[in-house]
Amino acid sequence: MEIVLGVSGSIAAYKAAEIVRGFRRRGAGVTVVMTRNARRFITPLTLQTLSGRAVITSAFGETVQDRPDDIEHLGLARSCDALVVAPASAGTLARMAAGMADDFLGTFYLAVTCPVLLAPAMNTRMWEHPAVRRNVEILLERGASVIGPDTGELASASEGAGIGRMAEPEAIVQRVVHLAGARGMQLPAASDTQSAASGPLAGRTVLVTAGPTREELDPVRFLSNPSSGKMGYAVAAAARAMGARVVMVSGPTQLGDPEGVDVIRVTSAAQMRDEVISRVEDADVVVKTAAVSDFRPAARASVKVRKGAAPRTVKLVPTPDILAEIGRRKGSRFVVGFAAETDHLESHAREKLRRKKLDLIVANSVGGENGGAFGADDNEVTILEASGEMERWPRMSKPEVAARLMKLVASRLGRRSHGKRL
């Protein structure tokens, strides 16, 4: 697997070192391309040492060491499996959107056919400027993917906190793994021992539910919903990458098991309830992303019901409310719920947060002609916490939502532990 990492002029350029290390730990080869301004923030020698390769700093052959003949924009483009620009400054985004080939990175971007991932980094006012947002839209329209930016502390003390902080290096690496998988390729994963030994969730057990459930009318028909399970599987993978032991109870999906995750597959709401409740005592964190059917037929036919003999009405009865039961057994666990709503998103989510005794709820829209978040590869969510805090996250891929969510959960667990020590 060959990665080209473009580094542009931003204070976040120092994080490029961790991105290189993340790819190298997964067995990928990394070639670093630096813009002129990037060298003001981190030295080419640092990235050469970590990548084990010459760093490209000029379209005219100026590198840390003599560049091999095959490392030029066309030759490198042919061998590249993913181009990652992290950090992507406002200037770099503008040059890429305009198709400017005035340096190696701009020229290389015009030559590649592989997936392109951009990780913007700038202050809040720059990120929210219409020119920057339009440049990002242009690049998205051309097939690039964007991760972040995150909300958090910015570089300048006068700026304080806000949106514009570059996504975390591990989230960027994980996103490229996802893009690689979408192309039928796979990066070697970090070993289970390595993952479990470190990370903000190391030593924790995370219980995740995912996918839909099915409630059978007869042996060939059932009630269900369009949930693909992508969000829950992404949450499980993100928690595992952060060092947690992860158990996932999944309804029927077409997805493969995330590496290092203990997966229990079920079909109905009752089966999911039994598996979850039998494991909840061992969990430190419960993340319930599953779209559980709220109703089941009062009676299931043992044989296929013939069309002409089918009743005109079907009596329904409620299925177990798994999340409410978890709330009653909550104890010291951190419980995260998801709210799939077609209208009044925030008010309905707040009510569910309160009623089911959750610590945090992720609200997402499933309305609209295309089903909203159901089945999609990306999502736009609102985070509501029992403490009263609220965040609206911009549209991003589900693995990005998952990585950011589990980072938030880890920070809240850390806050609890700190409070106990005080």
Q: Which residues are catalytic?
A: 225
- For 168, which DSSP code? P
How far apart (Å, rounded) are the C-alpha atoms in residues 97 and 91? 10
The beta strand positions in 63-193, using DSSP E, are: 82-88, 116-120, 145-146, 150-153, 161-165
At the fourth CATH level, which superfamily is domain 2-182? Flavin prenyltransferase-like (3.40.50.1950)
Question: Hey, what long-range contacts does 376-385 have (CB within 8 A, 24 or more apart)?
Answer: 376/230, 377/230, 379/231, 382/345, 382/346, 382/349, 383/408, 384/346, 384/349, 384/350, 384/353, 384/360, 385/353, 385/359, 385/360, 385/412
Tens digit of each residue's pLDDT (9 = 90 or more) over 206-229: 999 999 999 998 888 889 888 889
Domain residue extents for the chain: 2-182, 193-421
First to last CA, the chain: 47
Q: Which residues pair with 337 in a beta bridge?
A: 288, 361
Fold that domain 193-421 belongs to in CATH:
Rossmann fold (3.40.50)
Q: pTM of the full predicted structure?
A: 0.57
Fold agreement (2-182, 193-421): yes
User: Which amino acid would we find at residue 211?
Assistant: G
Main-chain dihedrals φ then ψ at residue 319, nearest 5 degrees: -90, 170
Distance of alpha carbon 233 from alpha carbon 239, whole angstroms: 10
Is it true that the peptide bond before 219 is cis, omega within 30 degrees of 0? no
In tens digits, the chain (422 residues) has pLDDT values of 789 999 999 999 999 999 999 888 888 889 999 999 999 999 999 999 998 888 998 755 444 444 444 445 566 777 788 899 999 999 999 999 999 988 899 999 998 888 899 999 998 888 889 999 999 989 988 888 888 888 767 666 555 667 888 888 988 888 887 776 545 445 555 444 444 445 789 899 999 999 999 999 888 888 988 888 999 999 999 899 888 999 999 999 888 888 889 999 999 999 999 999 999 999 999 999 998 988 999 988 888 888 888 887 889 999 999 999 999 988 999 999 998 887 888 999 999 999 999 999 999 887 655 445 676 778 889 999 998 999 988 888 888 889 899 999 999 998 776 555 44
Q: Is the dihedral of CA 372, 375, 379, 381 positive or negative?
A: positive
Which residues does residue 150 pair with via DSSP β-bridges, in sequence order?
165
pLDDT for the residue numbered 194: 43
Lookup: tokens for 162:
């806000």
Please state, rounded to an integer, the average pLDDT across all residues of the chain. 84
